[in-house]
């Protein structure tokens, strides 16, 4: 076994530095072996990173950098990512075990995010507003929020960082990034590319470590906005910390998304869509379609088809091009998913397939789990209400359209939903009544740099991607200009 890599450093104020706390190891989810040692930031390190971002914003000139130059830097970053996409993808696979073919496609797509938000950097602006007051010229401008704290998860470390970094930098903000302690290495390598692209020192800072680092960062009163992707539990803690200083927040949190299959659906397509919605990335996605609602008249047929397809999913090493599902990303998540299998069985759900660690020498030391399907689940069961974040799906029958919608909405979450039907009128009716930030019809798990993404209820606040993301990283300033020659009545503001 190779010795773990030990030369990773944090980026603070344009300098690469060790942390002042005890370093920590990254462990492969494939074989359980340590492969890297990472620096762990102290509270003083976090404070220094915030100070560097604050300086770059307040006196460093980044907010006043012409939009065209910010756009050029983003495009250059996109070029660098494209040149090293394979390396970045393989590094993320080593971190979290997601299959290479998915991570590589995702990583290559990050260049599109850079180019899209480069375009918005050059075009996003304010409005002129007709005023009811005479001789007044009124307009608005969009200005950067300030220093952004970005706290990112382990399931798609670079993609979910770029959802924040691209619009924030495009609009002239500075940043302190805290990646998950499971997947920090890829973020630090991206930091090298940010530096190589020509971004000024302090515009992007990266600190690594466990949850204490994130807590120190989000509690700092010099932070102007927090952008977080992760669990609803941690999101509540961040919202509480932000409330102490009225810090702006955007939160992309958990989900328990319904994937609704009506009797008239193309069942072959629906099976593949359900499989993609829950077993891709080993179910470790916030938008996973973890509740499959099936029309009663096709329930047995569809359940049998899904079980057969799930049993054929190819588990294996995530770098193998034939692998369809790799391991879970870390020991804590593996233990959590196994716990929920036990909970589901205790609640009386029927295990139709999976639920175990696969047999075979190639799986022995890894965090692998068979694709798991539970049948005849009631929507009030914990397995149907709590986010498992793993390759576990619940099958819930429904009798009619109204019941499907009622079950779909009976959750604290509202991130996404899927609808499978050939009836376009039904598709529109159901879409209009589902409480979710995204609804897919006859497809699932599609996202784009140009399409807003986010949730309602306890799935979060705000939107990422698309032009809507610009609003999350800017403040609107209104400007009034008196163009008249007369003297206004000081006691009548409408004069």
Give the residue numbers marked as catalytic: 252, 286
Distance CA 72, CA 223 (A): 26
22: left (phi over 0), alpha (psi -120 to 50) or beta: beta
Phi–psi pair at 314, nearest 5 degrees:
-85, 110
Buried-exposed string 160-170: b where 16+ CB fall within 10 A, e elsewhere: bbbbbbbbbbb
Beta strands at 147-151 and 174-178: parallel, antiparallel or unpaired: parallel
Distance CA 300, CA 133 (A): 68
* DSSP code at position 3: P
Beta strands in 253-391 (DSSP E): 258-261, 291-295, 350-353, 372-375
Residue in this structure with the two tokens 């397995």, named with its chain if needed: 383
Residue in this structure with the two tokens 């938000």, named with its chain if needed: 117
Could you tell me which of 281, 178, 169 has the C-alpha nearest to residue 228? 178
The sign of the dihedral angle between the CA atoms of 415, 386, 163, 449 is negative
Residue in this structure with the two tokens 């050059």, named with its chain if needed: 122
Distance CA 103, CA 158 (A): 10
Counting every residue written for the chain, the total comes to 495
């Amino acid at each position: 076994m190779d010795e773990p890599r030990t030369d990773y450093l944090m980026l603070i104020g344009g300098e690469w530095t060790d942390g002042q706390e005890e370093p920590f190891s990254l462990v492969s989810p494939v074989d359980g072996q340590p492969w890297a040692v990472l620096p762990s930031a102290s509270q003083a390190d976090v404070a220094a990173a915030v100070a560097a971002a604050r300086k770059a914003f307040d006196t460093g000139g980044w907010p006043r950098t012409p939009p065209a130059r910010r756009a050029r830097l983003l495009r250059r970053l996109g070029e660098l990512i494209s040149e090293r996409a394979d390396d970045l993808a393989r590094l993320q696979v080593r971190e979290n075990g997601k299959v290479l073919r998915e991570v590589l496609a995702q990583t290559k797509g990050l260049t599109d995010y850079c180019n899209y938000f480069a375009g918005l950097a050059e075009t996003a602006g304010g409005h002129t507003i007709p005023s009811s007051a005479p001789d007044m010229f009124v307009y608005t401008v969009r200005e950067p929020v300030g220093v952004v704290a970005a706290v990112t998860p382990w399931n798609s470390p670079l993609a979910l960082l770029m959802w924040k970094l691209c619009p924030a930098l495009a609009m002239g903000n500075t940043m302190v990034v805290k990646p998950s302690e499971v997947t920090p290495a890829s973020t630090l390598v991206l930091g090298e590319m940010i530096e190589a692209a020509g971004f000024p020192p302090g515009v992007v800072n990266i600190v690594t470590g466990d949850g204490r680092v994130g807590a120190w960062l989000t509690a700092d009163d010099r932070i102007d906005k927090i952008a977080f992707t992760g669990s609803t539990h941690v999101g509540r803690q961040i919202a509480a910390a932000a409330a102490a200083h009225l810090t702006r927040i955007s939160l992309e949190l958990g989900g328990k998304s319904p994937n609704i299959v009506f009797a008239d659906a193309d069942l072959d397509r629906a099976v593949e869509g359900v499989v993609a919605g829950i077993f891709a990335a080993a179910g470790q996605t916030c938008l996973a379609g973890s509740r499959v609602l099936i029309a009663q008249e096709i329930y047995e047929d569809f359940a049998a088809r899904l079980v057969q397809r799930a049993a054929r999913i190819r588990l294996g090493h995530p770098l193998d091009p034939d692998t369809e599902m790799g391991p879970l990303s870390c020991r804590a998540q593996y233990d959590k998913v196994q716990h929920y299998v036990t909970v589901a069985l205790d609640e009386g759900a029927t295990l139709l397939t999976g639920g175990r660690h696969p047999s075979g020498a190639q799986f022995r030391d890894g965090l692998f789990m068979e694709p798991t399907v539970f049948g005849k689940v009631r929507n009030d069961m914990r397995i149907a209400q709590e986010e498992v974040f793993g390759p576990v799906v619940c099958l819930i029958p429904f009798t009619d359209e109204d019941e499907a919608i009622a079950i779909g909405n009976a959750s604290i979450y509202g991130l996404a939903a899927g609808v499978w039907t050939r009836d376009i009128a039904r598709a529109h009716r159901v879409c209009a009544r589902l409480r979710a930030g995204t609804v897919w019809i006859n497809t699932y798990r599609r996202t784009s740099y140009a399409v807003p993404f986010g949730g309602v209820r306890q799935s979060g606040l705000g939107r990422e991607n698309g032009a809507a993301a610009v609003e999350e990283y800017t403040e609107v300033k209104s400007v009034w200009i008196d163009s008249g020659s007369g003297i206004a009545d000081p006691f009548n503001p409408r004069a």
